[in-house]
Amino acid sequence: MMAPAPARAENDQVQRGPTPEWVIPSDLMSVPDDATGLIFVRRQDIVAHLDDRGQAQYLGYRMRLLHPNALQLGNISIAWNPVSGPPVVHMINVHRDGATIDVLKNASFEILRREDQLEAAMLDGVLTAVLRVPDLRVGDELEVGLTTRSDDPTMANNDSGLLFLLSSPQAGRFRLGLSWDEGYKPHVRMTPDMAAVARNGGRSVDFLFDNPATLTPPKDAPARYQWQRIVEYSDFDDWAAVSRHFAPLYAKAARIPEGSLLKLEAQRIAAAHANPLDRGAAALKLVQQDVRYIYVGLGDGNLTPATAEETWQRRYGDCKAKTALLMGLLAELGIEAEAVVVNNQRNDDAFDERLPNPGLFDHVLVRARIDGKQYWMDGTLPPVAIPALDPVIDYRWVLPLSARGSNLEKREWRPAERPDEINLYEIDARAGFDQPARVTSTTITRGIAGLQQQALLSGLSADQLLTGLRQQFVGSTWQTVDDAKLSYDEKSGASILTIVGKWEVDWEDDGDGARSLALPGGGFNPPEKRVRPADQNQDLPFFNEPRFNCYVTTVRPPSTTTAANWTYKSGFDTHIFGQNYYRAFDIRDGSIRMVRGFRVENMEIDAASARRDNGRIASFDNSKGWIFYAPEGGAAPSSARKLVPATYDFDWTADNVPCLSAAALNRAAAR
């Protein structure tokens, strides 16, 4: 097994040194007599500098401590990767009553070694140094200056990054700066609020703010409108250059040498499966199941993937390593594949408007071409996640890595075709109104939530699962939990949890023998108004977090009753704020059936539509899913009756679940 070369000993320690020549600290701002809050920032300088080694980051500040809680700022912490070189501290001073106290004369940093964070599935090589400023008091001014470097060998001479000012800073003076040596000028892009205060120098650009106002992003706007007070810089000319830069790293790491046991694994897969898709699925499962996930950022491993051979020998790896290993296996199986970098935080809106910056992406996975179709494969997911035509996370922008250089690809959003979650309730109340009902509750969960549930619960024995669910549920609605089962349907990508037990059904006594019951999940809260404060742009669109959920309830009523004894609340099919609300009832074959579905059909709605729909909220039907029993009978089926399947006569893991009306489905299909 290959091990990263140890960093030089001097890189493991905090060093002392003068402030770099490329830093000119800001002038101090006077502290007003009526200063309030935790601190007053007399100056804070954050400067990034680009040179032939990479980039350095300077942080310098002097701030008046106004409140006892501000004394926590005396706990100074520095984190760094020794491969990039040691941090250099220029000063730590305390100013009190006109005197300057050099803290470093009598105090020093303590080094905390955190190379082996196995409990957090991380090997990052990062060191942390801490210093606790002694005898710090309210009224003191704490002055700190230090420089760290981020010289990643993977990046060669390509640097990129962001400078930003927090939306709600303390009072005082703040300066952001970017400077560079001759010949290292980057591409720079800034938001309008930064452009308005930019001061350009010969080899620098600075941004100075005195008492910057709190900047509140526009309420409920898409993520691209949250991008404020930010400066981007990058040495990459375009996204294709980023793609070209990283592609050879994965091509090299994916090569499987002659004599490797990985070749035997590929041969075993090929012999066991004739179909290319089955072969790809088997290779993916091997990577998911036999190589545990550990983030590896040692040495230059933060952006450089470990080789397939190395990963297979040590049987652990991060997303980069697992991607290279999977690509190597697929190549042995004759399957075309490429690495694709993505953003797992779901904040990749408008990446096409950003400067090319590898740091915007935080994950890499494989996209393979099999039988003319593209399949997404993620080696870091549980082994039940099979190759799929769509990735588990609905990425907006992705970057394939290729030798020729690929551009950003936009993945068009469309409403979900299958619910993210379906809750099924079969309530068997045939024993009577005054008896507990036999209940079967089934939850079908897809996506990341379903995989998380599978990973969390699949390792439990049947007895452990049953005992845990009893502990969680018995005592409220559930009187008993008699059985429980967890399974995962790979074809539908769903985790299925079924619980069987008894409920104390909360029948409402409506007098004269009449009863009513609100079915679980049958109602909706009315949507909130989509409005913004008057000082924000009123014409920006509003964002809807994509969701699709469904509740299906079947009641077998007391055997002493008949269909003529029962009615139900009205159904509806409402489209408001780009969201569809649907409910339908049916009575037949000795059971009362209800389905209730909600789906976001428009991820963004324009301001005019939002204003129109604000006026429709008052008429929104937020009634619960009531069913009613009348002992005198005579009930007639509602004209709003729909053919609703029961929980037990339909495969609810199928693609075409009737959780929405035909009109809603047709509307989505026409997009």
Full DSSP string of 312-333: HHHTEE-HHHHHHHHHHHHHHT
Report whether pLDDT(91) > 70. yes
Burial 71-106 (b: 16+ CB within 10 A, else e): bebbebebebbbbbbbbbbbbbbbeeeeeebebeee
Longest dimension (CA), the chain: 93
- pLDDT at position 532 over 70: yes
Q: Which of 171-185, 298-312, 421-435, 559-573 has the lowest mean pLDDT?
A: 298-312
SS3 call for 613: helix
**pLDDT higher than 70, residue 125:** no
Q: Delimit the domains of the chain by residue range.
A: 22-215+228-234, 239-410, 421-436+505-526+534-669
Closest CA to 493 of 452, 546, 553, 521: 452
Angle, CA 498 vertex, CA 497 and CA 499 arms, to 5°: 125
Mean pLDDT of the 623-637 span: 84
Residue 394: burial class (beta carbons within 10 Å; 0-12, 13-18, 19+): middle
Structure letter (DSSP) for residue 106 = T
Confidence (pLDDT) at 83: 81
Task: Check residue 668 and give its pLDDT.
Answer: 60
For residue 572, give the 3-state DSSP assignment: strand
With cut-offs at 50, 70 and 90, classify the pLDDT of residue 407.
Answer: very high
The type of residue at 57 is Q
Average pLDDT over residues 202-230: 95
pLDDT of residue 11: 73
Tokens encoding 587? 């009575």
Third-level CATH fold of 22-215+228-234:
Immunoglobulin-like (2.60.40)
Residue-level pLDDT at 639? 57
For residue 158, what are the CA distances in angstroms to 206, 265, 343, 577?
Answer: 21, 38, 20, 44
Whole-number Å distance between alpha carbons of 362 and 436 = 51
187-190 and 230-234 as β-strands: parallel, antiparallel, unpaired?
antiparallel
Predicted confidence band of residue 599 (pLDDT cuts 50, 70, 90): very high
- The residue written with tokens 């179909």 in the block is 275
Q: Does 114 or 260 have the greater pLDDT score?
A: 260
Q: What is the predicted pLDDT for the residue at 100?
A: 97
Provide the token pair at 671.
């997009």
Note whether 22-215+228-234 and 239-410 share their fold.
Answer: no
Q: Which residues of 511-528 are buried (b: 16+ CB within 10 A; e: fewer)?
A: eeeebbbebbbbbbeebe
Average per-residue pLDDT in the chain? 92
Q: Which of 3-12, 192-201, 223-232 comes out lowest in average pLDDT?
A: 3-12
- The Cβ-side half-sphere exposure at 308, using a 13 Å CA radius, reads 29
H-run or E-run covering 441:
strand 437-446
Q: What is the pLDDT of residue 126?
A: 78
Report the C-alpha gap between 591 and 440 in whole angstroms: 15
pLDDT at 336 over 70: yes
The pLDDT value given to residue 2: 32
Predicted local confidence at residue 242, as pLDDT = 97
Third-level CATH fold of 239-410: C8orf32 fold (3.10.620)
pLDDT greater than 50 at residue 423? yes
Q: How many Cβ atoms are within 10 Å of 402's Cβ, its own excluded?
A: 18
Question: Do you know the residue count of the chain?
Answer: 671
Mean pLDDT across the stretch 132-141?
Answer: 97
pTM: predicted TM-score of the whole model, two decimal places: 0.91
- Residues 343-352 have a mean pLDDT of 93
Given the structure tokens 């591409």, which residue do they identify? 187
Lowest mean pLDDT among 195-199, 212-216, 266-270, 545-549: 212-216
Looking up tokens 């029948």 gives: 507
pLDDT over 80 at 64, yes or no: yes
Mean pLDDT for 482-507 is 96
Per-residue pLDDT averaged across 222-242, rounded? 96
Q: Is the pLDDT of residue 647 over 70?
A: yes
Type of residue found at 570: S
Report the interhelical angle of 319-332 vs 276-290 (nearest 10°): 150
DSSP 442-459: EEEEEHHHHHHHHHHHTT
Task: Using a pLDDT cut of 70, give the percent of the chain over it.
Answer: 93
Closest by CA position to 341, among listed 265, 416, 393: 393
Contact in structure between 426 and 503 (CB atoms under 8 Å): no
Residue 151 pLDDT: 81
pLDDT at residue 82, as a whole number: 85
Q: What is the mean pLDDT of residues 9-22?
A: 87
pLDDT score at 5: 40
Distance in angstroms between the alpha carbons of the first and the last residue of the chain = 53
Q: Enter the tokens of residue 70.
A: 């501000």
Q: What is the pLDDT of residue 123?
A: 57
Report which of residues 182 and 638 the model is more confident about.
182
The 3-class SS string of 413-424 reads: CCCCCCCCEEEE
Neighbours of 589 (CB within 10 A): 10
pLDDT at residue 638 in the model: 58
